[in-house]
C-alpha cells in the first residue's frame, strides 16, 4: 500500500504521480502529469492490478517506464504524504466511487438519467442517437443533450439557427426509440455560456422551446477575488434552471472561483434552482466540501457527466458517490425525479420568472 495516513490507495497513487511530474521536465513531466490525470478515471486501482499479478499497462496513460515506478511505490510504501495542494484536493478516483456505491446500491437503482452531455453538434464526438443508445444500455429514463451555446466558439457552440435543427434530430431520435419499444426520452437542452455578469449569450426566444437550460461560466475563471455577485446574478437569470460546474475548477490546472458559498446556495434554494455536480473526472464540481454547504442550505442538486463520448456516461458514478458522501437527501437530487416531474419543476420555475 502506497498511502500515507488516511489516504486511499487510488488517491495516493495519483498524488505520487503528480508530485513526480513536478520534479521531472520535458516529456517525463508530461507523461507523469497525464498519468496522474488519467488515474481519476481508472476503473481499477494500480494496487488491485499488482495484487492480481496483472500488468499496469492495462491502465490508461501507463507505459513500461511509469509502470516500474508505480510498482516500486506499491511494493515500497512511502511515509505519510501529508496534505494534497488545493489544486488536487477533494478529487476522487472512479474505482473508489464504484467501491463506495456498492455499499448503497439503491442509489444507482434510483438514478433515472444524466443531465449534461455533448454531441457532435458542438464539441462531442457522438451523435444524439449514439448518446441515446449508450443511455438505453444504462437503463435510463431520460438524458439531456446540452451542447454548448454560440459564445463558446472554441467548443463549436450552436447558435439560434442551429437550435431548431438539433431539435428536429432529437425528435426523430425519440420517435425511433419509441418505435423500437424503448422508454428513453431525450430532452432538448443547452449549456448556455454566461458572462461574468450572469448574462446568457442566446436570444431568450430560442430557449423557450427547450426542456431545460444549464448556465455555465467559461471565462474569467482564474480570478482570486470574491465572485459571489457573479453567482447570484447567474441564479437570478430567468432563463436558466441549473447552474453548471459552478466553481470552474479543473484537476491540477485551475483552482476555481471563490464565493460566499452558503449565500450562493441559499439563493439557489430560495429560487428553487439546482446546482450541478459535474461528474467529469477532471472537474468533479461541485466538490465534496461545497456539497456539504449545499446540503445545509437545502439546495437542489443535478448530476451531469459532461460526457463528450458515449462511453463517458459511466462518469455518473463519481457525482453519485459525491452526493452520497455529502449526504445530499435523495429528494433534492434532480436525477432521481421522473421526466414528468422534471418538466413540472421547470414549468414552475418559468412561470415564476414571468
- CATH code: domain of residue 44: 1.10.150
Cα–Cα distance measured from residue 90 to residue 247, given in angstroms and rounded to the nearest whole number: 13
Q: Is residue 91 part of a domain?
A: no
**What is the domain range of residue 183?**
98-353
pLDDT at 236 over 60: yes
What's the domain count of the chain? 2
Q: Which of 84, 116, 142 is the last residue of a domain?
A: 84
Residue 174 neighbours by CB under 8 Å, 6+ apart? 185, 186
Cell numbers standing for residue 59: 491502465
One domain, residues 181 and 312: yes
Give residues with Cβ within 8 angstroms of 237, minimum separation 6.
194, 198, 199, 200, 215
pLDDT of residue 8: 58
Global confidence as pTM = 0.94
Residue 6's pLDDT band (cuts 50, 70, 90)? very low
- Is residue 200 situated within a structural domain? yes
Separation between Cα atoms, residue 22 and residue 33, nearest integer Å: 8
Looking at the structure, do residues 66 and 123 belong to the same domain, yes or no? Answer: no
End position of a domain, from candidates 54, 84, 114: 84
**Cell numbers representing residue 338 in the block:** 421522473
Q: What angle do CA 205, 208, 212 make, to 5 degrees?
A: 135
Strand ranges, E, within 74-209: 113-114, 142-145, 185-194
Using pLDDT thresholds of 50, 70 and 90, give the confidence band for residue 11: confident
Mean pLDDT to the nearest integer, 62-83? 89
| Percent of the chain residues topping a pLDDT of 90 | 92
Amino acid at each position: 500500500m502506497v498511502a500515507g495516513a488516511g489516504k486511499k490507495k487510488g488517491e495516493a497513487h495519483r498524488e505520487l504521480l503528480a508530485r513526480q511530474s513536478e520534479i521531472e521536465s520535458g516529456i517525463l513531466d508530461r507523461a507523469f502529469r497525464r498519468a496522474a490525470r488519467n488515474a481519476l478515471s481508472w476503473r481499477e486501482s494500480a494496487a488491485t492490478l499488482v495484487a492480481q499479478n496483472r500488468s499496469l499497462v492495462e491502465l490508461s496513460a501507463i507505459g513500461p517506464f511509469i509502470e516500474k515506478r508505480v510498482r516500486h511505490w506499491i511494493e515500497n510504501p512511502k511515509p505519510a504524504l501529508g496534505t494534497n495542494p488545493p489544486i488536487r484536493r477533494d478529487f476522487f478516483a472512479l474505482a473508489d466511487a464504484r467501491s463506495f456505491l456498492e455499499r448503497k446500491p439503491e442509489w444507482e437503482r434510483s438514478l433515472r438519467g444524466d443531465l449534461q452531455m455533448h454531441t457532435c453538434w458542438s464539441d462531442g464526438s457522438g451523435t444524439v442517437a449514439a448518446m441515446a443508445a449508450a443511455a438505453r444500455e444504462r437503463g435510463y429514463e431520460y438524458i439531456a443533450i446540452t451542447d454548448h451555446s454560440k459564445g463558446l466558439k472554441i467548443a463549436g457552440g450552436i447558435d439560434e439557427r442551429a437550435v431548431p435543427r438539433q431539435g428536429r434530430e432529437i425528435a426523430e431520435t425519440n420517435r425511433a426509440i419509441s418505435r423500437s419499444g424503448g422508454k428513453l426520452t431525450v430532452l432538448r437542452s443547452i449549456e448556455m455560456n454566461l458572462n461574468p455578469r450572469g448574462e446568457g449569450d442566446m436570444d431568450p426566444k430560442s430557449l423557450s422551446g427547450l426542456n431545460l437550460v444549464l448556465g455555465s461560466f467559461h471565462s474569467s475563471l482564474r480570478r482570486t477575488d470574491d465572485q459571489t455577485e457573479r453567482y447570484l446574478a447567474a441564479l437570478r437569470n430567468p432563463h436558466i434552471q441549473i447552474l453548471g460546474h459552478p466553481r470552474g475548477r479543473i484537476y491540477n490546472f485551475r483552482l476555481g472561483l471563490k464565493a460566499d458559498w452558503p449565500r450562493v446556495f441559499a439563493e439557489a434554494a430560495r429560487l428553487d434552482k439546482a446546482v450541478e455536480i459535474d461528474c467529469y473526472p477532471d472537474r468533479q464540481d461541485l466538490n465534496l466540501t461545497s456539497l456539504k454547504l449545499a446540503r445545509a442550505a437545502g439546495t437542489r442538486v443535478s448530476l451531469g457527466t459532461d460526457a463528450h463520448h458515449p462511453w463517458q456516461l459511466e462518469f455518473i458514478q463519481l457525482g453519485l458517490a459525491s452526493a452520497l458522501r455529502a449526504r445530499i437527501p435523495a429528494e433534492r437530487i434532480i436525477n432521481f425525479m421522473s421526466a414528468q416531474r422534471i418538466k413540472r419543476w421547470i414549468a414552475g420555475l418559468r412561470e415564476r420568472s414571468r
